[in-house]
Chain A
Amino acid sequence: MIEELAALAQWHNLRFLWQGLAVTLQISVLTIISSFVLGTILGIMRYSGHWLLGRLAAVYVEGFRASPLILLILLFRFTTPLKPVNSGTLAMSLFTAAIVAEVVRGGLNSVDKGQWEAARSQGFSWVQILRYVVLPQALRKMIPPLVGQFITVVKDTSYVWVTGVEELTGKGVIILGQYGSAVQFFAIFGTIGLVYYLLCWGLQRFGLFQERRMSWLTM
């Protein structure tokens, strides 16, 4: 058993897994940033109730939300000329944006409508009210569901392995091909599981910290 674990715990194996983690982190960070931007725009579009923009956002959100992520990853892999890691990131960004849009809309809806009238009576424009009055208050309400979704993003990067992108789970499965014993198997999956666990746990702590930091915004 000790020999089996010693055979596994070598520098080149650790480096191999680390490379996978780097890919996982890269896809996660890019997806979180781009889906946050696109999702906020879509959420505001749907919240605005504009006859065209509102409906466009609704079609986008419902269309993407009802699709399995794996389907989007495969669709973009085979119908775009992008490299698999990029088409995967694109698929994940567009998918996550639909969910972020609903979170943003929910957050905006939770702000009392009276704030709009109050701000308008003070001469604020629509954009100014959104920017300086409504969004900052909505943001705090949005943090818990947003962080939950971003944790899901980190976990869902493992779906991109379906197109052969060697992220953390993919690297683990590849190593598995070379080390076949039961002990080695559990050691490999234990390590991968622990890394995901720490990533998700860290994100959660960060979310709680941000929420507390913004507690002065409580209305």
Chain B
Amino acid sequence: MDRFAAFKWQALFMDWRIFLEGLGRTASTAGLALLLSLALGVLFGMLATSPYRSGRSVNRLYVSLIQNTPLVTQIFFLFYALPHLKIMIPTSVVGVLGLGFYHGAYMSEVVRAGIQAIHRGQLEAALSQGFTYVQAMRYVILPQAAEVVLPPMTNQAVALIKNSSILAMISGGDLMFQADSWSASTGYYGPAYLTVWLIYFALCFPLTQLAKRWENKAARSRSGEVKVA
């Protein structure tokens, strides 16, 4: 077990700032990417259910292109493509864009399913009352869809946090990158990776449990077991 010897752990705790810095970058990148993916998810989810054929095609193209190619390839594409187009941005912004667009495609599928779970009659009723399509979405459909979409969206957020570790592949300075470069210089891989594992677990496990609880609650209320007072 000398891969995990005590003095290696000691060295790790001496350098705790490096890991904290990485955690900060992971949190800010994942947070911004989550906002972007939610915005794209709502936008493309509405396009997917819109009455306009061109809107649906645009959504179809976006979702299938993003979902059928790897995130790693997309990130490398952005990373190398932007300089070709004379656009110079920091790697963490490349991460936010890449992660946001990737998870935005999955979010839009979640939003689509949420909107379609609401009875079609509600949209027609709202439209007949003089609501515009956007108003009907904003005041009638989306608030109801929120309950259906919260659990899968939380699962997407977990996936996004985990996938933000992709920054390590483009030297993005996130938690995974810091652990990787710290252990490359010290050679103490075991403690570094186990510590990072624990940190990701502390971030992801509570969210997964929360999603599971919401899911069970929604399932019960659908089957009529829970009487809301």
Contact = CB atoms under 8 A, between A and B. Distances in A.
B22 interface: no
B72 interface: yes
B139 interface: no
Interface stretch (A35-43, A58-66, A118-126, A128-136): A58-66
A68 B80 CA distance: 24
Contacts of B180: 74
Contacts of A71: 165, 176, 179, 193, 196-197, 200
Contacts of A158: 70-73
Contacts of A172: 73, 76
Contact of A67 (B64, B73, B201): B201
Contact of A79 (B84, B189, B201, B208): B189
Instruction: Give the 5 A-B residue pairs with the shortest CB-CB distance, closest first.
Output: A158-B72, A78-B189, A155-B70, A68-B165, A200-B68
A73 B164 CA distance: 15
Interface of A: 62-63, 65-71, 74-75, 78-79, 151, 155-159, 161-162, 169, 172-173, 176, 182, 185-186, 189, 192-193, 196-197, 200-201
Between A67, A68, A75, the greatest number of chain B beta carbons within 10 A of the residue's beta carbon is seen for: A68
B205 interface: yes
B162 interface: yes
B176 A185 contact: no
B69 interface: yes
Interface of B: 3, 64-65, 67-73, 76-77, 80-81, 84-85, 158, 162-166, 168-169, 176, 179-180, 183, 189-190, 193-194, 196-197, 200-201, 203-205, 208
Nearest to B67: A200
Given A71-B193, A79-B189, A189-B77, A197 B68 contact: yes
Contacts of B85: 182
Between B190, B193, B201, the greatest number of chain A beta carbons within 10 A of the residue's beta carbon is seen for: B193
Contact of A70 (B3, B166, B189): B166
A192 B80 CA distance: 14
A142 B183 CA distance: 40
Between B71, B72, B81, B190, the greatest number of chain A beta carbons within 10 A of the residue's beta carbon is seen for: B72
A161 B189 contact: no
Nearest to A157: B70
A176 B80 contact: yes
22 contacts: A66-B204, A66-B208, A67-B162, A70-B165, A70-B166, A71-B176, A71-B179, A71-B193, A71-B197, A78-B190, A78-B193, A79-B193, A155-B69, A155-B71, A156-B70, A158-B71, A169-B73, A176-B80, A182-B84, A186-B81, A196-B70, A197-B69
Contacts of A200: 67-69
A218 to B, nearest CB: 20
A68 B71 CA distance: 13
Contacts of A155: 69-72
